[in-house]
Amino acid sequence: MAEGDMLWTIRSGERVEIPATVAGIRDALPEDQRGRFLDEIFSANVYTVEKVVREWIVKVASEPEDEAVFARLRAQDQGAE
């Protein structure tokens, strides 16, 4: 892989590499999520594509139990308590 194709994060105290390209993210997703990912990428414009990519990177890098934390943070960002 070329330099810049991967990012990393810490999960459960260990370094985990995650893809930093559209193709890499697609390949890392379960097959049943790939179509939705590509639909969102192809529907994004130049102003929103980075947000879409970042949201999917978080999905690839997170574990299922993280979703409750993400939902709470999204609600806080939108002004809910």
CA distance 76 to 72: 6
pTM for the model: 0.69
Band of residue 62 on the pLDDT scale cut at 50, 70, 90 = confident
5-55: pLDDT as tens digits: 888 877 778 888 889 899 999 999 999 999 999 999 999 999 999 999 989
25, 37 in Cβ contact below 8 A? yes
What's the angle, vertex CA 51, arms to CA 50 and CA 54, rounded to 5?
85
60, 28 in Cβ contact below 8 A? yes
Band of residue 4 on the pLDDT scale cut at 50, 70, 90 = confident
- Report the pLDDT value the prediction gives residue 12, as an integer from 0 to 100: 77
41, 22 in Cβ contact below 8 A? yes
Nearest to 62 by CA among 10, 21, 22: 10
